[in-house]
Every structure is written in structure tokens, then in C-alpha cells.
């Protein structure tokens, strides 16, 4: 089966890019936004330029989080402002604003390979911070008008510390301000006692983006899946772009929405179908 290109590159070629190659590509995207089908929205395109500069600045200092204020970068996504913090958030934004998705795109020939590419680039851009890429990433795909789009994001890696908790709270506050979480849920975990809190999850920015666009979307058609980077990038997985073909492999490499997400995602609207985010329906 043929896999569609991403960023006008064969997925297998994009997968092996080093940091310099990825940053060169990102700068090319900024220079030629129409060629890369960047969302045609002036403030979004301006944000893209700032995002790439921030990724380069973090790379020079080998940081995942900005080491000095400002700790977040305010970006515009089709008219809405969101605060991004980690290099993984920034890379997810680039994936989310780049278009050109083929009409016949499927999980097998595009969406799943794309999230694997995101996993790989997160690892590459983590630099010397070995093992610090997200423990979970998520891709959501949908159609806006007649245009196919994706949103990607990663969770906050472990172990939890003061900086990561502050980032989690900033994410949580965005969920609250967009009607996706309740202020009273700040320290509530629906996962288990002492489990991760709302705002930690990889679904955070994808769900914020689709919430902003919800009146332009057919909610029942939105789909997504979460992926475990440390599993899917392991050497034991020989064909990394292939959708896992057994339930056992899907359970090992992928993940359904956690109980926190099962509370948050439906708040986008009554049409959202959590079954379309299941590893068994990929």
C-alpha cells in the first residue's frame, strides 16, 4: 500500500531527518506557506513563524521547556489564542496548521504514519534529553468545510515536577476557559487515586482546537487515536508506519482515551463519539 507524503516528503525520508534537517524544513514551510498549504489565516501564519523561531531557540539550548520567561508562546489558531510551552506542543502546532491532505487519506495510508512521524520528530528534537519525549501522543483528524485537517499533541512527560505541574495547570486553565473542564476539577483525577490530572493528557491541544472549530465541523465524524512513542519507535516494531493488525498489538502500542479524556472530550458537543477514538476502530 502506498503511503501519502507529509510536508511534500516521503514519510520514510522525513522520518530519518536530523534536527538540522527538520529545522530547515520548518523554515521552508514558513517561507512558502502556500506551497505547504498552511491555513490561510494571517495571524495563524504569523504564529507559525514565531513557533519555528522558538523551536530553534530551544534546540540551541537543548531545552524542552523554555528556561527563561516568557514560559509560553501565545499562538493564534484560526482566530483563537492558545499558549504553547514545550517543544512538543510547538511541533504539534506545525503539524496542525499544515494542510494538503489527500482526499483519499485513511488511517493506514496517512493518519497513522503521520502520528508516527510526529513521535520520531519529538524524539529527535528532544536532543540530549534522552527519554524525555512524551509518553503519549495523540492525533485527531476531521474535515473543516471541504478541507481535511489534523491536530496533534503530546502529554507532559514523567516524573511530575513543579515546572510540569505549572504547565499542566496552564493547560487546565485553557480547558476551563473553553468550557471543556470545570474549575472544581483542577485537582481531580478520574483515572485513579493519585493518577494524572486533567490537562496532562496528549489530547489537550487537539480537543482545544476542535472545540474552537466545532461549529464548522461534523462532530460525529471526528476521529483520533493515542499512540505510545516508546513502544511504536522500539526496534522490535519493524514496519513502524503499519497500523497494528491485531488487538494485542493495538493494546500494546496504542491507547484509548483515559477516564479524564472521557470526561473532557464529550464536552465539545453531543455529536462526539468516543468509539471513534478507540484503538479497535482505527
Catalogue the E-assigned strands of 85-243.
137-144, 147-154, 223-227
Task: Please report, rounded to a whole number, the percentage of residues in the chain having pLDDT higher than 90.
Answer: 91
Closest of 113, 87, 90, 119 to residue 101, by C-alpha: 113
pLDDT of residue 129: 77
Does residue 150 sit in helix, strand or coil?
strand
Per-residue pLDDT, averaged over 21-40, amounts to 98
- Report the C-alpha gap between 39 and 97 in whole angstroms: 6
Express each pLDDT in 217-267 by its tens digit: 999 999 999 999 999 999 999 999 999 999 999 999 999 999 999 999 999
- Report the C-alpha gap between 270 and 30 in whole angstroms: 37
The residue assigned the cell 499544515 is 98
Mean pLDDT of the chain: 95
Question: C-alpha dihedral over 202, 203, 208, 210, to 10 degrees?
Answer: 140
Per-residue pLDDT, averaged over 187-209, amounts to 92
pLDDT of residue 143: 97
Check: CB of residue 160 under 8 Å from CB of residue 170: no
Check: CB of residue 206 under 8 Å from CB of residue 138: yes
Q: Where residue 28 falls among pLDDT bands split at 50, 70, 90?
A: very high
Per-residue pLDDT, averaged over 67-95, amounts to 96
Does the pLDDT value for residue 158 go beyond 70? no
Q: What is the pTM of this model?
A: 0.97
Strands 73-77, 80-84: pairing is antiparallel
Per-residue pLDDT, averaged over 175-187, amounts to 97
Does the pLDDT value for residue 151 go beyond 70? yes
- Report the C-alpha gap between 208 and 212 in whole angstroms: 6
Amino acid at each position: 500500500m502506498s503511503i501519502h507524503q507529509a510536508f511534500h516528503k516521503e514519510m520514510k525520508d522525513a522520518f530519518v531527518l536530523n534536527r538540522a534537517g527538520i529545522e530547515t524544513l520548518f523554515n521552508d514551510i514558513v517561507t512558502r506557506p502556500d506551497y505547504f498549504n498552511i491555513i490561510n489565516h494571517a495571524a495563524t501564519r504569523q504564529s507559525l513563524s514565531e513557533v519555528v523561531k522558538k523551536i530553534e531557540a530551544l534546540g540551541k539550548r537543548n531545552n524542552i521547556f523554555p528556561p527563561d520567561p516568557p514560559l509560553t508562546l501565545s499562538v493564534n489558531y484560526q482566530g483563537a489564542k492558545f499558549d504553547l510551552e514545550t517543544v512538543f506542543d510547538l511541533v504539534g502546532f506545525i503539524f496542525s496548521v499544515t494542510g494538503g491532505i489527500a482526499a483519499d487519506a485513511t488511517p493506514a495510508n496517512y493518519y497513522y504514519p503521520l502520528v508516527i512521524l510526529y513521535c520520531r520528530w519529538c524524539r529527535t528534537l528532544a536532543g540530549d534529553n534522552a527519554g524525555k519525549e512524551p509518553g503519549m501522543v495523540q492525533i485527531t483528524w476531521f474535515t473543516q468545510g471541504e478541507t481535511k485537517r489534523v491536530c496533534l499533541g503530546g502529554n507532559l512527560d514523567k516524573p511530575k515536577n513543579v515546572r510540569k505541574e505549572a504547565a499542566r495547570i496552564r493547560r487546565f486553565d485553557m480547558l476551563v476557559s473553553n468550557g471543556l473542564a470545570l474549575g472544581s476539577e483542577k485537582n481531580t483525577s478520574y483515572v485513579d487515586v493519585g493518577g494524572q490530572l486533567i490537562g496532562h493528557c496528549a489530547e489537550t491541544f487537539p480537543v482545544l482546537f476542535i472545540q474552537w472549530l466545532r461549529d464548522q465541523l461534523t462532530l460525529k465524524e471526528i476521529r483520533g487515536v493515542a499512540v505510545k512513542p516508546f513502544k511504536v519507535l522500539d526496534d522490535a516494531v519493524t514496519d513502524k508506519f503499519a497500523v497494528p493488525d491485531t488487538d494485542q498489538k493495538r493494546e500494546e502500542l496504542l491507547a484509548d482515551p483515559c477516564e479524564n479524556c472521557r470526561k473532557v472530550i464529550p464536552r465539545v458537543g453531543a455529536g462526539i463519539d468516543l468509539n471513534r477514538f478507540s484503538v479497535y476502530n482505527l
